[in-house]
Structure 1
Amino acid sequence: MPRGERPLDVGDGPLLKFAADLRSLRDRAGRQSYRQMGARAHYSATTLSDAAGGRKLPTLAVTLAYVRACEGDVAEWEDRWRQVAAEVLPGHEPGPDGGHPPYAGLAAYDTADAEWFFGRDDLLDDLERRIAQRRFVAVFGASGAGKSSLLRAGLVPRVRGRAAVTTPSELDVRADRLDLDAELLIVDQFEEVFTLCPDPDQRAAFIDALLTAPGRVVVGVRADFYGHCAQHPDLVEAISDGQLLLGPMGPEELRQVIMQPAVKASCTVETALVSRLVADATGQAGVLPLVSHALLETWRRRRGTTLTLAGYEAAGGIQHAIAQTAERTFTSLEKQQRELARQVFLRLTALGDGTEDTKRRLPRAELDADVDLDVVLDRLAHARLLTLDRDCVEIAHEALIRSWPRLRGWLAEDRDGLRTMRRLTEAAATWESLGRDPDALYRGSRLDNALDWTRREDVRASALEREFLDESARARDQERLLAHRRTRRLRQLVALMAVLLLCATGAGVYAIRAQSEIEEGWTSSSSLYVANQAQALRGSNPRLADQLAIAAYNINGTAAMRDGVLTAYAAGQQDMVSRSSFPDGRRPDGAALPDNRVPTPATGEYRSVTARDYPNLQVTSTAQNSALQAFATTLRNGVAQVWDVTDAIAPKPVYTFGFPVTRIAVDPRGRWVVTAAKGDPSRTGEVAVWDWSYPTPGTGLVQRASLDPLDQPDPLDGMAFSAPGDVLATYDQAGIVRLWDLKEPVRPRNPDEPRLRLIGTQPTGEAVSAVALTPDASTLAVGFPSGKVRIWDRRRQLAPRELWSAKAHPDGIRALGFHRNGLTLATVGEDDKVALWSLADRTRPVEQGRITGTTAGINGVSFEEEPTVVRTTNSNGTFRDWQFDFRIAVDEMCKKVEVDISREEWQQYVASVGVGALEYRPPCR
C-alpha cells in the first residue's frame, strides 16, 4: 500500500470517508501510480498520496487536481469537498481577544469603523482636494465599489468641522429634512432619489436643495444611474467638473484591505491566501463586499491567529461565500419561517427597469407584527445578510442580490407579479398617508390585477395592503350598487314623464327632450355597469366576460366601450416566440410557418409555443431577414450575444462580443448590427457598425464603420432603424436625436477609422425614451418619459418642421413604431396601454384605439401586414400581437364561445340593471 494510505472504515467520519472515496476513484481509473498522476496533475506524487491518506483534508486545488487526473466529475467533487470542509475545518470560534472582527462582511464600513478601513488613502487625498476646490462633488462607482465605506469611514474622520451623513431613504426624499447647516453634507446612496421617489416635483425640490445648500455637499451615486443624473440640467452643471469615479482596487490596495485589519487584530494572513485573494479580486468592479465577506468567513475559520487558504476555500471563496452563508442561514429556518424570509427578500428588492435590481429600504411598518418574523429578521441580521434599525430593514449589500442563486430565482419567477406587489405597497402607503381617502383606492383593472395576485398560494400581503384591497373592493361594490339604483330611478322617471306627457300635451317637446337626455344617461350608465361586470368576471368566467364586453358595446357604442372589447380580446391572447423552422432546418418553399407554431415531428401537426417554453433571455432587439431567419440580441452582465431563434425550441448563440457592450440592435433586414460599448481601446469608437449579411453559426462579424465622437459626443440611450434598415436613429443623454446613413456607411476621412455619415440632427431639449422612423425616414416620432410624443417632418433635413406634439399617455413612452405605409403610428406607454394613431393628417393624428395590457419589458414595436395589428417585442424574448380591428376581434372572441349567454345570465347581468327594453339577444349569435 502506498505511503500515506491506510485501511479506512467508512464509518470513521467524513474525512476518512472522503479519503476512501478518492482512492476508489483512483481504482476505477485503472489504479495508475501516483507518479503518473503527478505528471498529469502537476503536483508531486507525495502531495497526491497524502490527499488520499485521510490524515487531514487536502486543499480544494489539490483535490480537484487529483480528480482531474482520474477523469472524475470536478463539479461533484468540489461540492463534496465543501461539505466535508464545513464539517471538519474550524468553524465559528471566538477571537484571540474576544474582540471586534477585523472585517465588515457585506455591510459598509461606517464612521465607527474608521480604524479598520484601509486601502483608499490616495483616493481620499484626491477627494479632499476636490472638496476644497468645489462646493458640490459627486462620487460615482459601481455597486460594491466601496462608495459608502469611502465616504463614511474614510472621508468623515478626515474632515475638520461638522459633517452630516444621510441617505435619501432616511429623509423620505424630503428637502425640508436635509441638515443644510452642516459644513459638509454627505448624501450616500443618492440613486435612491430616482428609485424611491416617483414624484418628479419632490425629486427636483430635493436636488435643488442640495445644489443651493450653504455648505459643501458630497453625494455618492451608483454608476449605472449616471444617465438619471443627466436629466437634471442644474445637477449636470454642478458635477461637470466635480465628479470622482471610483474604480476597482489595484493589487497593492487589495493587499492593504486584506492584511492591515488582520494585523490590527493581532492576526496573520497566509501568503498563499493573500496571493489568491488578490488574483481573484484585482480589476473587478463591485467585488469589495464579496472580498470583505469572504475574509470575515475566513477569519471565523482561522487556525489560532492565522487566516488560511484552506479556511478561505471552506468559506466558499469570493464567488460562493455570500451564497453559502445565505443558503445555510435560510435552510436553518423552519418551513413557515423560510416563506417569511422569501417574502422579506422580495420586498427588500427594487426591480430594475433598464438597470440592475437594487436593494430597497423597507419600513418596519410594512411588515406585520409576527413572532416568527422577528426570529427571521434576527437570524438574517446575525448572519450579516440584513441590517436593522429601529424603523427600517435593508439588505446589507446589493452583492447579495447578484450572488445568491436562490434570490435571483425568486426575482426571475414572476417579475410582473413583483411589480404588482410594489405598486400595491406604494398605493396602500399613499392611501394611509392621505387619511384613507376613498379617492386613493384602487379601481378597475388595477384592483382586479392586485386581487388576482393576492389569491396566489405563495403571496403574503401585509395587513395594510389587505385593508386597502378590502376597502377598494367594498367601494367598487358600492359604486355598482349605486349605478344599479340610479338606473332604476331613471326608469321610474321615464315612466313618470310618460304619464305627464299624456296629462300635459303642451309640455310634449320638453318631455321628449328630457326623455332623450335620460335615455342617454340610462344607456351610458347601463353600458358602463355591464362593462364593469365583464371585467369582474374576466378571471373566473372568460366566456361570459367576452360576451358581456360585446353587449356593453352594443348598448352604447362609444370609443371607450370599443376599447373595452379590444382589451378583452387582448386579455385572451398569449405571449409568443419567434417564427420556427422544421426540426431538420428546412422551411416550406416560399412561405414561413405560422407565428407561434412549430411542427410536432411524431404527427406532423402543430402545437402552440408560449413564453413558458422559451429561455428567459433579456432581449434588447429582435429582427427577421429576407431568408425568414429570426434573430434576437441579448445583453447580460456586460456580455452581448446574437442568437438565431428561427427554431424557437432551441435558440442558438451565433456570436458573442468580447468587450463590455451596453446597447445592441439589429436592423430589420438582418444586415447591420450596431453596438454601443464602454470605451474599449481595441475598437475604433464606442459605437460600431458591423456587417453580418449572411449570419451562420461560427461566422464572425466584420466591422464596417463607427460613429465619429465629434458627431456623437454623449453616451447613447437608445437606437432604432428605419424599416428598410438604411437609416439609423440614435438618441443620447442630452436629448438629441441623430440620423445616420447606412446605405453608404463608409465616409472617407481616415481609411483606418471609417465613420458613418451624419444626415440629420434633431435636438429635443428633454430626455428621450423612444424613437421611430417611417420607412423613407421622412417622418420622425420621438417619445418622452413625460408621456409626450412629438412628430417632425424631416423632408427638408436642414429645416425640419414639427408637425405634432401632445401627451399620448399619462406616463412615460416605452416604444414607438410606424407601419410601412407611414400613415399609422403605434405608441406603448408605461400606463399599461398600447394606442394606435392614424396619421392621414400628420398635423392632427387621430386615435384609432387604446388597449389595456401589461407593457412592462416592451422594447420594440412593429406591424403585421395590416396596419391594425401591432406587434410588440419584450425583453424576455417573446412578442405579442395587439388587434385593433374591432370586427376581427369580435369574430375571434365569438369563435371561442361554445355556449351562448343564458337567459338567466342575461337577466342577471344585463336586463336587471335597467336595459330590459333590450330583448334577450346573445352577442355572438
Structure 2
Amino acid sequence: MPRGEIPLDPDGGPLFEFAARLRKLREEAGRPTYRDLAQRAHYGIATLSSAAAGRQLPSLAVTLAYVRACGGDEREWKVIWQRTADACSGGDASAGDGKEQGDKGGAKPPYAGLFAFGEADAGFFFGREKLTGALVEHLKEKRLLVLFGASGSGKSSVLRAGVIPAFPEGSALVFTPGAHPLEECGSRLAARADCAPAPVHAGLAAEPGAFHRMVRRVLASRRDPGPGPEELLVVVDQFEEVFTLCRDVRERERFVAALVHAAQAPDSRARVALAVRSDFYTHCTRLPQLAEALPRAHHSVGPMTAEELRAVIVRPAARCRLTVESALLTALTADAHGRPGALPLLSHALLETWKRRRGNALTLTGYRAAGGFEGALTQTAEELYGALGESGKEVARRLFVRLVALGEGTEDTKRRVPRRELDNGPDTRFVLEQATRARLLTADGDHVEIAHEALIRCWPRLAGWLEEDRGQERLHRALTEATALWESMDHDPDTLYRGARLAAARELPPQVLTARERAFLDAGEAAARQEQQRDRDRLRRLRRLAGALVVLLVCAVTAAGFAVRAQGTVTRQRNEAVALRAAAESVRLSQHSPSLAVQIALAAYQRSPQGRTRDALLSTLSVASAGSGTLGSRPAGQAPAEHTPAGHAPALTADGRTLAMADGSRVVLWDMSDPLLPRRLGSPDADGVALNAIEFTGDGATLAGTGVDRVLRLWDVTDPRRPVLLSERPTGHTGPLYSIAVRRDGHIAATSSYDDTIRLWDIADPARPRLLDTLTGHEGNVKPVAFSPDGRTLASGADDGDVRVWDVTDPRHASPVTVLEGHRHFVDALAFSPDGRTLLSGSDDRTAKLWDISALPRHRELGELAAHTDIVTGVAFAPHGRTAVTVGVDSSVHVWDVTDRARPAHLAHLTNPRGTVKEVRPLAADGTFLTVTAHYSVQIWYTDLDRALADACDRVRTAIDRDAWARHFPRLDYAPPCPRRT
C-alpha cells in the first residue's frame, strides 16, 4: 500500500502555503500516485514528492512539470512560484530562480560537468590522489593495467587527468575502440608516426607483433628538438566498446592480442591501460589473451570516501577563488556518498550550481534551483527538450536514441556515431548544436556521442524512448549497419535486404529513417520486384515444360508414372522448404506482429510437422509482457488487463497461482490463475530500496526479500491485495546479496552474498527473524542457493565453479556434506528435482549438469545438457520431474526429457526474439513455464504441443490475408489456419 504524505509544518511560512497549494492541485486531479506523475512529468518520484514536502522551494522547471502532470495553469503557477521565491529570499530570488549567471567575464568553470577530465584539466582534478598514485606505480612495474569500475565511477578522468600527467609530456596515446578497433588504433598510430594509415591497419590485422614494432617507430619519428619520451603510454578508454559496437569477433581478438603482446614483449617500449566498465568483467574473461593477464593486471575504481568527495567539491572552487557554502557541502556529500556512478551527476550538479552562483559563493539555493543531485541533469535535458519546436523534439528523440547502444545482458551504453550516419538537415544541425552547448553531447571531428552514460540512467524521457520498443530499435540499428555496408561496397545488390528482413524494416516508422536508409530500402524493394518478375518468367517456362511433359506422358505411360512420382517428390520438397522458411520468419515477426506470426507458424507446422516447425510454433505462442505491451493476445470479447507483470526478480507460490515481481524499488503481486489475463494484486512496501531477490514460503503466506542495502525483509501476504511489512533485519553480509531461498516449511531461509558466505535464518516468527549460522567454504562470490524438497539439504553455487551441498537438518550447526566439481566456470543457477534425488546446475561454461545426490555424501555426475551457445542463466524442473528447462544469454529456452537422467533427450529449442533470458520458473499448468528477460519482460511458454495446437487460434485477432499468405507461402494455395477469426 502507498504511504501517505508527511503532514506539513504549519510554521513553515511561504513554503507551507506553496506546498499546501501543490497538494490541493494534486487532490483536484484525482490524487494520482507519484509514480504516475513521474511518467507524465519525466522527473523522478523523489524529486516530485519533495516538491510538495514543504521543506524547500523546488526549481521553477520542477514546479511547472508537477503542474502540467496535474493539469494546472502554468502561467498562474509561474506567478505563484516567483512570489514564493521572493518571500523566501527577502525579495531577491536572483540566486535561486533558475536563471544562470553563466561564465561571467569568460571565466572557465572549475567543474567538468558530464565530460571526463582531460590532461588539460589536471589542475582541477582532485580527490583521487591515492588511487592515481597506485595506478602510476602499477603501470611503472607491470606495463599492463586493466581498470574496472562502474559507469560514472571516474575511470576516464583518473586516467586522463591523473595518470597521464604523471608521465613525460607527449608520451600518451589515447583513443576509444569504436566499431572497428584495429582500424581506429592503426589510424592513431599512423598519425603519430606521420605515415599512411592503410599499411598500419593491414599490419595490425595480419600480426599482433606489428603493434609493438609500430610503437617503436612512433617513438623514433619524433621531430621536436630535445629529448623525447622513451616509452608510449597507450590508453584505451571505454574498452567495453569492443563488445558493444565491434561485431567482428576476429577483429576483436586480434586487437586485444596486439595490446597484450605490446605490453608483454621482452623489449617492450609500450605501457597499456584499459578502462572497462565493471559489468563487462565476464566478457573480458572470454578473451584468452586478456583472461590470462587479468589476475596480475586488473585494478578497481571504488567509491570515493567522504573526505575525497569534499576535495572534489571544494578544491576546484578554491583554485578559482570561490567559496562553497557549508550547507551546500553537507548536502552534496550526503547525496553522493556511497552511491555508485555518482561522480558525473555530482560534477554536473556542481557545474549548474556554479552557473547560478551568488558573487563568488556557491550556495545551497543555487544547487536547489539547478534541480538537486539527479534533478540537475534531468532539468538540463528537459530544458533543452522543452525549448525545441515540434520538429526539433522529434529530431532530438531520434538523435538521442541513435546514440545509445542497447545492452544484451548488460546496461545500455553510449554509442559513438559518425556524422555521415545522421541527416544533414537544418533541424538536425540545430539540435546537435544546442545539445552540445548544453554539454549533453560531444562532437569531435567526424563523430558525435552522448557526454556520459549517466544521462541514459537519469533522464526518464530518454529511458522511456528506449523502452517503448527495444525490438524496433534493434531492427533500426541492423538497418543502419546494413546501409553502411551497402554504401561501402559500392551499392552491391547482394547486400540488399530480401524477404522477411525487408518486410520487417519497411514496418519502421518513416520519420525515424535517414535519407541513406530510405534509399537502401527503396533499392531493396526494386531488387525484390525484379526478382519477382524473374520468378514469374521462370514459372512461365516451367508451365511450358509441363505442357511438353504431358505430350510425352501420352506417348509413354511408364515414363508418365515416373514423372508423376517425381513431381510429387519435388512438390513435397518445395512445400517443406517453404514451410521451414516461413517458420523461421514467424519467430522474427513474433515481437512485432504476434497474431500474424502465430498463423504463419501454425500453417508451417500443418504442412511440415517436424522439429523445427514445432519449435517455431511454440516460440511464437510465448505470452509476452514488455512494459507497455500485453501478455499475449487475449481471447475475443475479454477486457484487457490494467497492467502486466514486469521486473527482474520473480517468485512463485508453490501452487503457481501467485507471482511476485521485483522491479527496481518495488514489488508487485499478481494473480496468475489465468496466465493470459494476469491480475494485479498488492505491492509490498520496500521503503524505496532496490530489491534483487525474493521468495515465498511454502504456504505462500510470507514473502522474503533482500535488497541492495543488505537487509532481510519479510512481508505478510496472506491477503495479497494488502501485504504488510513484518520485519526488517540487517543481514550482516559485507558484500552485495545475490539470492535468497526459503525452506518449504517456511521456518528457515538462506541468503547468499558476494562476501563468499551463506547465512541461515530462523523465520518461523517472521516478525523477529534470527541469525542461526554462517556457512563458509566457497572461494568466490556465492550466487544461487536452493533447499531440497525435504528441507534437510542446502545446495549453493559460486564463482569458484563448485556446487557445495550442506546438511541443514540442524540449521544452528550446519555442516558441509560434499562438493560437486565439474563446471569450468561460474555456477549461476540451481534446482532440485521434485523427489530431491537429483540436482540440476547451470553455468557460465554454457552447460547444465544433472547430479545424482540420492546417497550423500556419495554423488556422481549424470547427463550433461549442452545446447546453449552462451551462459546458462536459469534452470528448473517441471512439477512432475520428467521435464527440465534451461535458459540463457543466447536468447534461447531449451526443453529436455530427463526421465533417464543419465541420457537426457532434447525436446525443443525455443527462441526469445527479445534477447537474453535470465530466470525460469514452472507454473501450475502442466507444461507451462514463466521466464524473465534481461530487459524485465515476462513471458509464458507452452511446452505441451497438443495444448499449443488447441489454443493457437485463440491468439489470432485477424485472419491472415491473401497478400501476406502469398509473401510467406509462395505458390501454395491460400488456406488460412484460423479462417473464422475476423
TM-score between the two structures when normalised by the length of structure 1? 0.74
Identity over aligned pairs, percent: 36
1:881 is aligned to 940
Whether 2:624 is the aligned partner of 1:575: answer no
Supply the distance in 2 between the matched residues of 1:107 and 1:328 (Cα, whole angstroms).
19
Whether contact under 8 Å (2:95, 2:365) holds in the other structure is no
Q: CA offsets, 1:107-145, max 9 Å, x none?
A: 111012122222333332222222222121233333322
Equivalent residue letter for 1:98: G
Whether 2:893 is the aligned partner of 1:834: answer yes
Q: CA offsets, 1:43-82, max 9 Å, x none?
A: xxxxxxxxxxxxxxxxx99x956999xxxx9x99999489
Change (3 A) 1:515 1:536: same
1:337 is aligned to 392
2:110 is aligned to 102
Whether contact under 8 Å (2:784, 2:829) holds in the other structure is yes
Supply the distance in 2 between the matched residues of 1:371 and 1:844 (Cα, whole angstroms).
65
1:523 is aligned to 575
Give the CA deviation at 1:777.
5.5
Deviates more, 1:122-131 or 1:644-653: 644-653
Supply the distance in 1 between the matched residues of 2:967 and 2:112 (Cα, whole angstroms).
66
Give the CA deviation at 1:677.
3.8
Whether 2:405 is the aligned partner of 1:350: answer yes
1:123 is aligned to 131
Change (3 A) 1:747 1:830: same
Change (3 A) 1:802 1:145: same
Equivalent residue letter for 1:366: E
Supply the distance in 1 between the matched residues of 2:339 and 2:871 (Cα, whole angstroms).
35
Selected match of 1:260 from 311, 315, 325: 315
1:363 is aligned to 418
Supply the distance in 2 between the matched residues of 1:785 and 1:440 (Cα, whole angstroms).
35
Supply the distance in 1 between the matched residues of 2:392 and 2:963 (Cα, whole angstroms).
48
SS at match of 1:765: coil
1:803 is aligned to 863
Change (3 A) 1:437 1:503: same
Equivalent residue letter for 1:191: E
Supply the distance in 2 between the matched residues of 1:651 and 1:105 (Cα, whole angstroms).
43
Supply the distance in 2 between the matched residues of 1:899 and 1:279 (Cα, whole angstroms).
57
Equivalent residue letter for 1:715: N
Equivalent residue letter for 2:175: T
Whether 2:915 is the aligned partner of 1:863: answer no
Selected match of 1:246 from 287, 290, 301: 301
1:585 is aligned to none
Give the CA deviation at 1:769.
5.7
Supply the distance in 2 between the matched residues of 1:319 and 1:855 (Cα, whole angstroms).
30
Change (3 A) 1:281 1:537: closer
Equivalent residue letter for 2:576: S
Change (3 A) 1:519 1:277: closer
2:770 is aligned to 702
SS at match of 1:325: helix
Q: CA offsets, 1:713-762, max 9 Å, x none?
A: 1124555666666655544445x1414336436474xxxxxx56253322
Supply the distance in 1 between the matched residues of 2:928 and 2:588 (Cα, whole angstroms).
27
Q: Mind listing any 5+ residue stretches in structure 2 that lack a counterpart?
A: 1-11, 22-49, 68-76, 87-92, 190-210, 216-230, 263-267, 633-640, 645-653, 661-672
Change (3 A) 1:267 1:223: same
Equivalent residue letter for 1:342: R
Give the CA deviation at 1:564.
4.1
SS at match of 1:368: coil
Whether contact under 8 Å (2:922, 2:929) holds in the other structure is yes
Change (3 A) 1:884 1:912: closer
Supply the distance in 2 between the matched residues of 1:347 and 1:907 (Cα, whole angstroms).
31
Supply the distance in 2 between the matched residues of 1:277 and 1:818 (Cα, whole angstroms).
50
2:822 is aligned to 763
Give the CA deviation at 1:347.
2.6
SS at match of 1:834: strand
Whether 2:213 is the aligned partner of 1:184: answer no
Q: CA offsets, 1:130-188, max 9 Å, x none?
A: 22221212333333222211111111111126221222228636696375415222222
Change (3 A) 1:281 1:776: same
1:891 is aligned to 950
Give the CA deviation at 1:334.
1.5
Whether 2:747 is the aligned partner of 1:675: answer no
Greater C-alpha Rg:
1
Supply the distance in 2 between the matched residues of 1:255 and 1:743 (Cα, whole angstroms).
48
Q: CA offsets, 1:470-506, max 9 Å, x none?
A: 5666677777777787778777766755653442245
Give the CA deviation at 1:924.
8.0
Whether 2:177 is the aligned partner of 1:168: answer yes
Selected match of 2:803 from 738, 744, 747: 738
2:142 is aligned to 134
Q: CA offsets, 1:375-413, max 9 Å, x none?
A: 111111111121111222222222333333333443444
Supply the distance in 2 between the matched residues of 1:445 and 1:235 (Cα, whole angstroms).
39
Give the CA deviation at 1:253.
3.2
Give the CA deviation at 1:468.
5.1
Count of residue pairs the alignment pairs up: 830
Whether contact under 8 Å (1:828, 1:855) holds in the other structure is no
Change (3 A) 1:297 1:818: same
Supply the distance in 2 between the matched residues of 1:529 and 1:820 (Cα, whole angstroms).
35
Give the CA deviation at 1:534.
7.8
Whether 2:778 is the aligned partner of 1:712: answer yes
Change (3 A) 1:268 1:544: closer
Give the CA deviation at 1:703.
3.3
Equivalent residue letter for 1:102: P
Supply the distance in 1 between the matched residues of 2:318 and 2:919 (Cα, whole angstroms).
56
1:382 is aligned to 437
Change (3 A) 1:297 1:724: same
Alignment of 1:639-678 (within 5 A): 661-667=736-742, 669=744, 671=746, 673-678=749-754
Supply the distance in 2 between the matched residues of 1:83 and 1:259 (Cα, whole angstroms).
27
1:295 is aligned to 350
Supply the distance in 2 between the matched residues of 1:426 and 1:663 (Cα, whole angstroms).
37
Change (3 A) 1:630 1:165: same
Q: CA offsets, 1:592-611, max 9 Å, x none?
A: 87999xxxxxxxx9997459
Supply the distance in 1 between the matched residues of 2:903 and 2:526 (Cα, whole angstroms).
42
Deviates more, 1:214-223 or 1:737-746: 737-746
2:251 is aligned to 202
TM-score between the two structures when normalised by the length of structure 2? 0.71
SS at match of 1:342: helix
2:9 is aligned to none
Supply the distance in 2 between the matched residues of 1:195 and 1:188 (Cα, whole angstroms).
14
1:562 is aligned to 614
Equivalent residue letter for 1:323: T
Whether contact under 8 Å (2:921, 2:929) holds in the other structure is yes
Whether 2:556 is the aligned partner of 1:504: answer yes
Whether contact under 8 Å (1:575, 1:611) holds in the other structure is no
1:92 is aligned to 100
Q: CA offsets, 1:230-253, max 9 Å, x none?
A: 444653443424443333333443
Supply the distance in 1 between the matched residues of 2:795 and 2:891 (Cα, whole angstroms).
26
Selected match of 2:699 from 627, 634, 654: 627
1:775 is aligned to 834
Q: CA offsets, 1:558-599, max 9 Å, x none?
A: 33333344345447995389999xxxxxxxxx9987999xxx
Q: Mind listing any 5+ residue stretches in structure 1 that lack a counterpart?
A: 1-18, 29-59, 581-589, 597-604, 680-684, 749-754
Change (3 A) 1:83 1:190: farther
Supply the distance in 1 between the matched residues of 2:244 and 2:589 (Cα, whole angstroms).
35
Equivalent residue letter for 1:744: T
Supply the distance in 1 between the matched residues of 2:572 and 2:828 (Cα, whole angstroms).
41
Supply the distance in 2 between the matched residues of 1:331 and 1:847 (Cα, whole angstroms).
55
Supply the distance in 1 between the matched residues of 2:414 and 2:966 (Cα, whole angstroms).
47
Supply the distance in 2 between the matched residues of 1:510 and 1:715 (Cα, whole angstroms).
68
